[in-house]
Amino acid sequence: MNTDSFALRHIGPRRSDLSEMLKTVGVDSMEQLIFETVPDDIRLQKELNLDPALSEHEYLEHINELAAKNKVFKTYIGLGYNQSISPPVIQRNILENPGWYTAYTPYQAEIAQGRLEALLNFQTMVIDLTGMELANASLLDEATAAAEAMALLFAVRERDQKKNNVVKFFVSEEVLPQTLSLLQTRSQPLGIELVVGNHETFDFSSEFFGMILQYPGKTGRVYNYKEFIAKAKDAQIKVAVAADILSLVKLESPGNFGVDVVVGTTQRFGIPLGYGGPHAAFFATKDEYKRSIPGRIIGVTKDTDGNRALRMALQTREQHIKRDKATSNICTAQVLLAVMAGMYAVYHGPRGLEDIATKLHNKAVTLADSLENLGYFQANETYFDTIAIKTEASKIKAIAEANEVNFYYPDDATVSISLNETTTLKDINRIVRIFAEAAQKEASEITELLIGNKIPKEVNRKTDFLTNEVFNSYHSETELMRYIKKLERKDLSLNHSMISLGSCTMKLNAAAEMLPLSDPQWGNMHPFVPVAQAEGYQLMLRKLEQQLTEITGFAGTSLQPNSGAQGEYAGLMVIRAYHESRGDAHRNICLIPSSAHGTNPASAVMAGMKVVVTKATVEGNIDVDDLREKAALHKDNLACLMVTYPSTHGVYESAIKEVTSLIHENGGQVYMDGANMNAQVALTNPGAIGADVCHLNLHKTFAIPHGGGGPGVGPICVAKQLVPFLPTNPVIETGGENAISAISAAPWGSSLVCLISYAYITMLGVDGLKKSTQYAILNANYIKERLSGHFDVLYTGERGRAAHEMIVDCRPFKENGIEVTDIAKRLMDYGFHAPTVSFPVAGTLMIEPTESESKAELDRFCDAMISIRKEIDASEKDNANNVLKNSPHTLTMVTSDTWEFPYSRQEAAFPLAYVSENKFWPTVRRVDDAFGDRNLICSCEPIEAYMETNA
């Protein structure tokens, strides 16, 4: 046995389990199983060309060598990214804690009350600082949040604006460059016309539906927008503001000026820069737009006993329900980062934040004063943390870089300096010395901060914020550590048991993959530093691009998209640009099978395409005849097909090559949704099935943890003809030679977590990757066989095999009055998170075990399912008082002095022997979704509510 092999740690079943598992499945060898599962004509003919696998120890040495190649300068570039201090208590107990980072999006609210509370804190913090009525639980980054704001304002245009087709959207020239680039990308397919200019000379006589302003502006100036916004309102122009979250501690909330949307990033609330991400953006708006707000919203409701409980609110707004009627495709967001940013506010409280913001402002005042004393002209009359020095930029740049300092140089005659929470007196003195050297003067040493106020009087903040108890209770480390633990204990994560969510691939997130994330050599790198300073990052990102290109069988990769859905959008925009380049701009029909994930049609609509849905056969496969008919019917305007492979039904459709060539014959491109890539890696690939572009979910197949609903990375890999169109960035050049504008704010998206996937591929190598796919298929088929006779599996391949996941039919149990939800909730009593509920078929469970689960864990899960099947058989349609309907059972119920249920406490809470060894207690009973949606509350209750209960 090679104890050095990472594959040995990553893959669950032991060699000694193999023969029994194969026997259960009914094959002689792994090769036979794969032969019976993956169609012959798409199997890879030659091995992938990847480097030999490194052991964990070798990898960590290698990655530390790369880290040393990053030159981490003192960086004052700003532009929406500012170094901050991650409180170690948050780093250790959340970022480095699998109890937090391995959780899934809180769909099963009863076992997710911890992160739901943390997200409610985040929303409350955003609501307080922005002065808005409602906030969501994070978006991908500030630039995409701004684009979502534009889309929302477009969707909620006044009736006469819609009638008169008012399509103009004003963008202040003070908006960040990456935000502008994204607005350009997003506006085009929607038919929105952008007008960029100076808000001070804005022409109110022209018709606009909306506008966006930056607060403070990208130059650092703090404008008093009050009157301007009032005038916009009079002209029926809706207003979005992109705001700096820390500045809002000192500045009056945009909400108080009557704006419609406020967006921004919470990166500077304790989140590492990470060469661009991941960071949580925020989106806050008015109550009247609650049904149009993108992303998830956490809301308060009650459980069966009337106790307070949290859950995701208003889910009917989301893309998975609205499909091609959706105005946003956001699915995975930035939950882990939102949890951390919210916790930063809990840790510091209002007075702590006030202190940080005030000190920061005084640092800028002190620096400006010293530079003025040296004879420099500081151009910002008002500012929060960013000053602008008018001087020969190239001269300063040379001296600064020699001193390992980065500033931002918007033009030849300006040096922009954004200070941050980490800036010390020593740092300020270093900056002053740089300017003194350029002026050939002596700098005098600064020994203390000046106190000043360069914020216009009218916009100095007067409203309170973070008055809730939660922001005023946990300021010692002991208290915060215990609060974080208290929340963590309410949530079921991978460190408790298997999470077999079909389509989500909840595999191991290995510690060795995660360790480098804590290294400041990776964490403290600003995304807009000169590329030469980021050599370690560049080497790692290049290599990861090559690895993914090889694995998908394509010609190029862009790591920019921050989620799978954003990858879909990026891929479709690339297809659009390709058609345009060939004079085929009219090609706008996107064929999508009916079983597709909701993000597919939502992304297609955002990319300006028209969705035509194609049918499935009763076996769950693509109805090739229907597809052929529709492709031919639309051949003049066919843009593409979006297809998931293996299908969302968990089947390797053998007609896939016929399907892809059919599309090509009719002039279309083939987009493959790569969510199920875990069933392909090293056995087949999108290139082999004839696709042209796919996105990968690195947070599914390539081991980035789900983080409770983000971060994600959704790179797109493309065939040769599409490489020239891969997206660029307005500050740091990247992408193809004919690049589309930005898809996300940072040039390489969420670079920091790309380290995880790089580690995963580098440590597994070709053999380990192939084995992982094989074991993912074996584990799924093992479950299928063990459940056979107890549950029906809906679809299988031609030889009767499942792919890496399977759909279990729960609809027949309606005869006993049991719904699929009852099974999902009852699994909690057995210590398991439910598989995916009702996707892609209503009334079913989709089970995906992944390769990381051991035989013992698969057996426990199967035992639980079989035991539940017996409980179903014992249930009666007209008697809802049974162990399934009453599930999950809480500790409070089971230890209560009264017990009025027709089954024992033992049966309720410890239905199988293994449960008592490792009991997980849901902390609330079944949550009431409808009640919460009728009485929408999306922030922590005001302090008075606590006073009432205390009284």
Ligand X SMILES: *Cc1c(COP(=O)(O)O)cnc(C)c1O
Task: Give the shortest CB-314-to-ligand X separation in angstroms.
Answer: 18
Identity of the residue, 714 or 911, whose beta carbon is nearer to ligand X in the bound complex: 714
599 is a contact residue toward ligand X (CB under 6 A): yes
* Coil, helix or strand at residue 671: strand
Give the residue from 313, 327, 311, 337 showing the smallest Cα distance to 712: 337
Residues numbered 301-360 forming contacts with ligand X, rule: CB under 6 A: 331-332
564 is a contact residue toward ligand X (CB under 6 A): yes
Identity of the residue, 504 or 682, whose beta carbon is nearer to ligand X in the bound complex: 504
Task: Give the shortest CB-403-to-ligand X separation in angstroms.
Answer: 41
Identity of the residue, 563 or 614, whose beta carbon is nearer to ligand X in the bound complex: 563
Task: Give the shortest CB-714-to-ligand X separation in angstroms.
Answer: 5
The contact pattern for ligand X, residues 622-661, with x = CB under 6 A and - = no contact, is ----------------------x---x-------------
Task: Give the shortest CB-65-to-ligand X separation in angstroms.
Answer: 31
- Give yes or no for a contact between 816 and 825, defined as CB atoms under 8 angstroms apart: no
Task: Give the shortest CB-108-to-ligand X separation in angstroms.
Answer: 16
Which one among 597, 649, 804, 926 touches ligand X, defined by CB under 6 A? 597
Task: Give the shortest CB-529-to-ligand X separation in angstroms.
Answer: 28
Residues numbered 493-512 forming contacts with ligand X, rule: CB under 6 A: 503
Stretch that binds ligand X, among 166-174, 211-219, 287-295, 558-566 (CB under 6 A): 558-566
Identity of the residue, 367 or 675, whose beta carbon is nearer to ligand X in the bound complex: 675
Identity of the residue, 250 or 323, whose beta carbon is nearer to ligand X in the bound complex: 323
Stretch that binds ligand X, among 310-318, 562-570, 779-787, 875-883 (CB under 6 A): 562-570
Identity of the residue, 366 or 680, whose beta carbon is nearer to ligand X in the bound complex: 680
Task: Give the shortest CB-250-to-ligand X separation in angstroms.
Answer: 35
Residue at token pair 């739901």: 116
**CB nearest ligand X: which residue?**
564
d(C-alpha 865, C-alpha 16), whole Å: 25
- Give yes or no for a contact between 311 and 551, defined as CB atoms under 8 angstroms apart: no
Which one among 712, 727, 736, 888 touches ligand X, defined by CB under 6 A? 712
Identity of the residue, 300 or 331, whose beta carbon is nearer to ligand X in the bound complex: 331
- Compute φ and ψ for 610, nearest 5 degrees: -100, 125
d(C-alpha 171, C-alpha 45), whole Å: 52
The contact pattern for ligand X, residues 118-147, with x = CB under 6 A and - = no contact, is ------------------------------
Q: Which residues of 110-149 are buried (b: 16+ CB within 10 A; e: fewer)?
A: bbbbbbbbbbbbbbbbbbbbbbbbbbbbbbbbbbbbbbbb
The contact pattern for ligand X, residues 3-32, with x = CB under 6 A and - = no contact, is ------------------------------
Instruction: Report the residue count for the chain.
Output: 951
Task: Give the shortest CB-749-to-ligand X separation in angstroms.
Answer: 12
Task: Give the shortest CB-753-to-ligand X separation in angstroms.
Answer: 13
Which one among 106, 523, 714, 911 touches ligand X, defined by CB under 6 A? 714
Amino acid found at 151: A
Stretch that binds ligand X, among 291-299, 435-443, 561-569, 617-625 (CB under 6 A): 561-569
686 is a contact residue toward ligand X (CB under 6 A): no
Identity of the residue, 346 or 565, whose beta carbon is nearer to ligand X in the bound complex: 565
Stretch that binds ligand X, among 61-69, 417-425, 563-571, 770-778 (CB under 6 A): 563-571
- Give yes or no for a contact between 5 and 765, defined as CB atoms under 8 angstroms apart: no
- Give yes or no for a contact between 552 and 717, defined as CB atoms under 8 angstroms apart: yes
Count of chain residues binding ligand X (CB under 6 A): 15
Which one among 590, 675, 688, 847 touches ligand X, defined by CB under 6 A? 675
Pull the structure tokens for residue 106.
Answer: 């809180």
Identity of the residue, 396 or 498, whose beta carbon is nearer to ligand X in the bound complex: 498
Task: Give the shortest CB-566-to-ligand X separation in angstroms.
Answer: 7
Pull the structure tokens for residue 767.
Answer: 């053999």
Identity of the residue, 707 or 714, whose beta carbon is nearer to ligand X in the bound complex: 714
Residues numbered 155-174 forming contacts with ligand X, rule: CB under 6 A: none
Which one among 110, 673, 822, 853 touches ligand X, defined by CB under 6 A? 673
Task: Give the shortest CB-143-to-ligand X separation in angstroms.
Answer: 17
Stretch that binds ligand X, among 198-206, 267-275, 342-350, 559-567 (CB under 6 A): 559-567
Task: Give the shortest CB-48-to-ligand X separation in angstroms.
Answer: 23
Identity of the residue, 270 or 709, whose beta carbon is nearer to ligand X in the bound complex: 709
887 is a contact residue toward ligand X (CB under 6 A): no
Which one among 144, 380, 595, 697 touches ligand X, defined by CB under 6 A? 697
- Give yes or no for a contact between 609 and 634, defined as CB atoms under 8 angstroms apart: no
Helix runs in 808-928, H state only: 820-829, 855-873, 891-894, 905-909, 913-917
Q: Which DSSP symbol is given to 139?
A: B
Which one among 371, 449, 565, 609 touches ligand X, defined by CB under 6 A? 565
d(C-alpha 745, C-alpha 728), whole Å: 10
d(C-alpha 753, C-alpha 275), whole Å: 10
Identity of the residue, 521 or 644, whose beta carbon is nearer to ligand X in the bound complex: 644
Backbone dihedral region for residue 262 (phi beyond 0: left; psi -120 to 50: alpha; all else: beta): beta
Identity of the residue, 254 or 564, whose beta carbon is nearer to ligand X in the bound complex: 564
DSSP letters spanning 676-696? TGGGTTTT--HHHHT-SEEEE
Task: Give the shortest CB-329-to-ligand X separation in angstroms.
Answer: 7
Tell me the C-alpha to C-alpha distance, in Å, between residue 209 and each of 152, 163, 232, 283.
Answer: 11, 12, 10, 19
Q: 806-809 and 844-847: which strand pairing?
A: antiparallel
Crossing angle for the helix pair 56-68 and 535-552, nearest 10 degrees?
130
Stretch that binds ligand X, among 37-45, 127-135, 284-292, 557-565 (CB under 6 A): 557-565
- Compute φ and ψ for 718, nearest 5 degrees: -135, 155
Give the residue from 582, 529, 609, 578 showing the smallest Cα distance to 739: 578
DSSP letters spanning 554-594? -SEEE---SSHHHHHHHHHHHHHHHHHHTT-TT--EEEEET
Q: Is 394 exposed, middle or buried (0-12, 13-18, 19+ CB in 10 A)?
A: exposed
Tell me the C-alpha to C-alpha distance, in Å, between residue 310 and each of 283, 816, 945.
Answer: 20, 29, 16
Identity of the residue, 609 or 675, whose beta carbon is nearer to ligand X in the bound complex: 675
* Coil, helix or strand at residue 914: helix
Neighbouring residues of 125: CB distance < 8 A, sequence distance ≥ 6: 341, 342, 345, 466, 471
Identity of the residue, 42 or 570, whose beta carbon is nearer to ligand X in the bound complex: 570
Identity of the residue, 253 or 563, whose beta carbon is nearer to ligand X in the bound complex: 563
CA atoms within 13 A on the CB side of 597: 27
Backbone dihedral region for residue 102 (phi beyond 0: left; psi -120 to 50: alpha; all else: beta): alpha
678 is a contact residue toward ligand X (CB under 6 A): no
Stretch that binds ligand X, among 160-168, 357-365, 560-568, 882-890 (CB under 6 A): 560-568
Contact positions vs ligand X (CB under 6 A): 331-332, 503, 563-565, 597, 599, 644, 648, 673, 675, 697, 712, 714
